[in-house]
């Protein structure tokens, strides 16, 4: 029997840069695209993300057909069903696929394998072409380390790929990073350039019309403006480098009300579906620097995001899976506040909440709802910071980032959420949790001026929630952090607060928590000691590696009531109250009246 190969093109392999296809069409090779119904309904995906993935797949499939490739594009209950059905339909003797980029695809391919084998069809897995560091190389780098700091990995990558390096082996400019130059707030009155957008073509518009009717997903298809072809993605890279990169560095951390992107590249959505390769973006930025078009601090700042952070988080995902999903070293117990789905108090499923009065949180969530994205600092220092201070279970926050962002995939959200921002991994990735009071947001944004809360106050009716939650966080985790080299000073500052004020502050934090409406679908874990993770821990066996043993957080004095493992809130929690039974200071929110519905 002659050989016939089916190449499975994963939804994030939407160009020939990453798909495992031969360079030219061959009669014995079929490219196979699968739209999995199960995956499409697995989370309340942002509708614009669904449009992006479906449209990029559709365009790539069309491009391949035009180039003479045989293409199979099918909708199937699951990825494995689609692969097996297509292989049989085409009389394949072999299926070639990329090793799963994230766990669910690994599992789907593992389920496909015996079904294919039953028909004498071999499944051959190839290395993922979408990264510069292979999983094996990352594992080599990580071997024997107790902590896995990005900065050290980044230097290895700079040397290995000779990016921004001098012939004598020293980093260009004499330093590995220029972070200190890159922390400017956006100057008042400085115009923000318009967002870089791409008008949807007929193919995309047809998909938008289809996705708009799907229930149980988040956001609207309206305003979809992402690149869905290789040509448009390259144009986006070019525009970023020529129009924005020069000033990218200094304003990397700035936030402006109503602006999801500022000078950020917005390349992540295209990179993560395979329309761009990180190597070409890195090399383009270096060329712009070598040609004298952009300063080193900006070029290096951008290169670090891709050659450092993107490669590092993907490596950490595989290093810490599968236990990573449950990582919760700080013992957080809360589901996600409804404000993350309904910042304006809009109806969401059958649940309601009052509008979010915190200007920073409301605006940044609005950006995600409307565009499926917001740049890095709002993700880290507003959305994640708030959830971490509040005590939201990292898995619940991760689910939101994974579902709600156009660039969201588990391989990238999990390390960023469970590792970087919530410190759920107990310090494997970051030396300390990314938490701050409102002062950071005030310094780096224009949010606080017009907020109904006072960023300078830490107690009382108008106190900024970031402030009392921050001090409450330090008090709750005092035992864990008082000897921590990078946190001990912050913890010691607790002792400078008058004891009565500290009690008041903590009561206000408890009352605030009790007053919020929560997402009823989020996973709820029993309150109690958190679970650290061990590298390579078996599923469902969270462990606490030496030095990361979680401390039991003090029992909250007025935690929101729960009803066992049920996801519904108990009615006793519906009246916000402080520990002493006094009403919450002018709580802006009311409790969800029902649970969000999922299709």
Ligand X SMILES: Cc1cc2nc3c(=O)[nH]c(=O)nc-3n(C[C@H](O)[C@H](O)[C@H](O)COP(=O)(O)OP(=O)(O)OC[C@H]3O[C@@H](n4cnc5c(N)ncnc54)[C@H](O)[C@@H]3O)c2cc1C
Angstrom distance (rounded) from CA 125 to CA 308? 26
CB of 155 to ligand X, least distance (A): 17
Give the footprint of ligand SF4 on residues 519-578 (CB under 6 A): none
Nearest Cα to Cα of residue 553 among 360, 322, 350, 334: 334
DSSP per position, 212-268: HT-TT-BS-STT-----SHHHHHHHHHHIIIIIHHHHTTTTT-BBTTBS-TT----H
List the x/- string, 415-444, binding to ligand X by CB under 6 A: -xx--xx-----------------------
Q: By CB under 6 A, is residue 267 in contact with ligand X?
A: yes
Strands 70-76 and 94-98: unpaired
Of the residues 48, 272, 467, 548, which one makes contact with ligand X according to CB under 6 A: 272
- For the stretch 353-357, contacts whose Cβ atoms lie closer than 8 Å and that sit 24 or more positions apart, written own/partner, are 353/516, 353/517, 353/589, 353/590, 353/591, 353/592, 354/517, 354/588, 354/589, 354/590, 355/588, 356/588, 356/589, 357/451, 357/452, 357/453, 357/588, 357/589
Q: Which does 308 bind (CB under 5 to 8 A by kind): ligand X, ligand SF4, none?
A: none
CB of 314 to ligand X, least distance (A): 8
Give the footprint of ligand X on residues 225-264 (CB under 6 A): 264
Q: By CB under 6 A, is residue 268 in contact with ligand X?
A: yes
Of the residues 133, 271, 296, 464, which one makes contact with ligand X according to CB under 6 A: 271
> What is the total count of residues that contact ligand SF4 (CB under 6 A)?
14
Q: Give the residue with the Cβ less far from ligand X, 376 or 443.
A: 376
Q: By CB under 6 A, is residue 417 in contact with ligand SF4?
A: no
Angstrom distance (rounded) from CA 461 to CA 587? 8
User: Using CB under 6 A, which of the segments 214-222, 308-316, 435-443, 537-545 binds ligand SF4?
Assistant: 435-443
For residue 540, the tally of other CB atoms under 10 A from its CB is 9
* Residue labelled with tokens 């020293």: 170
List the x/- string, 146-185, binding to ligand SF4 by CB under 6 A: ----------------------------------------
Q: By CB under 6 A, is residue 464 in contact with ligand SF4?
A: yes
Residues 6+ apart with CB under 8 A from 483: none
CB of 132 to ligand X, least distance (A): 12
User: Using CB under 6 A, which of the segments 201-209, 222-230, 464-472, 489-497 binds ligand SF4?
Assistant: 464-472
- For the stretch 192-195, contacts whose Cβ atoms lie closer than 8 Å and that sit 24 or more positions apart, written own/partner, are 192/256, 192/259, 192/262, 193/243, 193/244, 193/263, 195/225, 195/260, 195/261, 195/266
C-beta separation of 294 from 263 below 8 A:
no
| Residue 108 token pair | 């789907």
User: Using CB under 6 A, which of the segments 31-39, 395-403, 420-428, 437-445 binds ligand SF4?
Assistant: 437-445
Q: Give the residue with the Cβ less far from ligand SF4, 160 or 443.
A: 443
Q: Is the peptide bond before 322 cis (omega within 30 degrees of 0)?
A: yes
User: Using CB under 6 A, which of the segments 83-91, 400-408, 451-459, 562-570 binds ligand SF4?
Assistant: 451-459
- Residue 333, SS3 per DSSP: coil
Of the residues 6, 19, 441, 535, which one makes contact with ligand SF4 according to CB under 6 A: 441
Q: Which does 310 bind (CB under 5 to 8 A by kind): ligand X, ligand SF4, none?
A: ligand X
Q: Which does 455 bind (CB under 5 to 8 A by kind): ligand X, ligand SF4, none?
A: ligand SF4
Q: By CB under 6 A, is residue 282 in contact with ligand SF4?
A: no
Q: Which does 313 bind (CB under 5 to 8 A by kind): ligand X, ligand SF4, none?
A: ligand X
Nearest Cα to Cα of residue 484 among 535, 534, 437, 433: 433
Q: Give the residue with the Cβ less far from ligand SF4, 175 or 439.
A: 439
CB of 179 to ligand X, least distance (A): 13
> What is the total count of residues that contact ligand X (CB under 6 A)?
28
User: Using CB under 6 A, which of the segments 233-241, 256-264, 444-452, 561-569 binds ligand SF4?
Assistant: 444-452
User: Residue 369 is inside which H or E element, if any?
Assistant: helix 359-371
C-beta separation of 274 from 237 below 8 A:
no
Of the residues 313, 338, 396, 533, which one makes contact with ligand X according to CB under 6 A: 313
User: Residue 315 is inside which H or E element, if any?
Assistant: helix 311-320
* DSSP annotation of 581: S
Q: Cα-flanking dihedrals φ and ψ of residue 82, to 5°?
A: -60, -45
Nearest Cα to Cα of residue 152 among 179, 182, 177, 180: 177
Q: Which does 265 bind (CB under 5 to 8 A by kind): ligand SF4, ligand X, none?
A: ligand X
Of the residues 102, 252, 442, 472, which one makes contact with ligand SF4 according to CB under 6 A: 442
Give the footprint of ligand X on residues 397-416 (CB under 6 A): 401, 405, 407-408, 412-413, 416
Q: By CB under 6 A, is residue 438 in contact with ligand SF4?
A: yes
Q: By CB under 6 A, is residue 447 in contact with ligand SF4?
A: yes
Beta bridge partners of 46: 218
CB of 238 to ligand SF4, least distance (A): 35
CB of 410 to ligand X, least distance (A): 9
Q: Which does 264 bind (CB under 5 to 8 A by kind): ligand SF4, ligand X, none?
A: ligand X
C-beta separation of 532 from 544 below 8 A:
yes
Of the residues 182, 305, 353, 436, which one makes contact with ligand X according to CB under 6 A: 305
Burial class for 388, CB neighbours closer than 10 Å (0-12, 13-18, 19+) = buried
Angstrom distance (rounded) from CA 187 to CA 474? 32
Residues forming contacts to ligand X in the complex (CB under 6 A) are 264-268, 271-272, 302, 305-306, 309-310, 313, 375-376, 379-380, 384, 401, 405, 407-408, 412-413, 416-417, 420-421
Residues forming contacts to ligand SF4 in the complex (CB under 6 A) are 358-360, 438, 441-442, 447-448, 451, 453, 455, 464-466
């Amino acid at each position: 029997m002659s050989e016939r190969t089916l190449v499975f093109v994963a939804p994030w392999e939407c160009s020939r840069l990453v798909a495992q296809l031969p360079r030219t069409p061959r009669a014995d090779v079929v490219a196979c695209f699968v739209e999995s119904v199960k995956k499409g309904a697995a989370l309340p995906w942002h509708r614009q993300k669904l449009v992006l993935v479906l449209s990029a797949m559709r365009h790539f499939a069309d491009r391949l057909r035009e180039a003479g490739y045989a293409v199979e594009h099918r909708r199937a209950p699951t990825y494995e069903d689609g692969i097996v059905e297509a292989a049989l339909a085409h009389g394949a003797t072999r299926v070639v696929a990329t090793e799963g980029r994230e766990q669910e695809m690994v599992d789907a391919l593992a389920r496909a394998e015996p079904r294919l084998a039953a028909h004498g069809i071999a499944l051959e897995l190839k290395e993922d072409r979408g990264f510069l560091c292979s999983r094996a190389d990352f594992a080599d780098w990580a071997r024997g380390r107790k902590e896995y700091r990005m900065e050290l990995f980044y230097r290895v990558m700079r040397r290995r790929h000779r990016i921004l390096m001098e012939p004598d082996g020293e980093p260009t400019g004499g330093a590995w990073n220029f972070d200190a130059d890159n922390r400017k707030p956006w100057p008042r009155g400085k115009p923000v350039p318009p967002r870089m957008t791409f008008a949807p073509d007929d193919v995309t518009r047809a998909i938008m019309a289809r996705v708009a009717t799907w229930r149980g997903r988040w956001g609207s298809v309206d305003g979809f403006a992402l690149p869905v072809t290789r040509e448009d993605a390259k144009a986006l890279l070019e525009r970023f480098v020529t129009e924005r990169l020069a000033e990218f560095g200094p304003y990397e951390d700035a936030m402006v009300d109503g602006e999801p992107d500022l000078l950020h590249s917005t390349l992540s959505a295209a990179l993560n579906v395979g329309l761009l390769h990180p190597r070409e973006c890195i090399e383009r930025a270096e060329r712009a620097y070598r040609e004298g078009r952009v300063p080193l601090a900006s070029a290096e700042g951008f290169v670090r995001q891709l050659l450092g952070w993107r490669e590092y988080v993907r490596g950490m995902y595989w290093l810490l899976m599968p236990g990573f999903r449950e990582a919760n070293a700080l013992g957080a117990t809360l589901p996600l506040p409804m404000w993350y789905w309904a910042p304006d108090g809009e109806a969401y499923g059958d649940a309601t909440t009052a509008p979010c009065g915190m200007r920073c949180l409301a605006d940044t969530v609005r950006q995600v709802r409307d565009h499926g994205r917001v740049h890095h600092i709002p993700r880290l220092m507003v959305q994640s910071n708030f959830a971490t201070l509040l005590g939201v279970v990292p898995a619940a926050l991760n689910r939101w980032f994974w579902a709600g962002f156009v660039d969201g995939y588990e391989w990238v959200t999990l390390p960023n959420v469970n590792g970087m921002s919530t410190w759920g991994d107990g310090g494997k990735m970051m030396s300390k949790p990314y938490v701050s009071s409102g002062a950071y947001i005030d310094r780096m944004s224009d949010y606080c001026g017009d907020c109904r809360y006072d960023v300078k106050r830490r107690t009382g009716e108008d106190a900024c929630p970031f402030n009392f939650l921050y001090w409450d966080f330090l008090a709750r985790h005092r035992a864990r952090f008082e000897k921590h080299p990078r946190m001990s000073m912050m913890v010691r500052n607790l002792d400078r607060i008058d004891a009565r004020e500290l009690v008041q502050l903590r009561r206000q934090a408890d009352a605030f928590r009790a007053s919020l409406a929560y997402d009823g679908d989020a996973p709820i874990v029993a309150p109690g000691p958190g679970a650290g993770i061990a590298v390579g821990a078996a599923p469902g066996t969270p462990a606490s590696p030496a030095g990361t043993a979680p401390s039991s957080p003090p029992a909250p004095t007025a935690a929101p009531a729960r009803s066992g493992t049920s996801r519904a809130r108990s009615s006793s929690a519906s009246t916000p109250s402080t520990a002493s039974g006094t009403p919450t200071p002018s709580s802006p929110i009311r409790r969800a009246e029902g649970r969000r519905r999922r299709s």
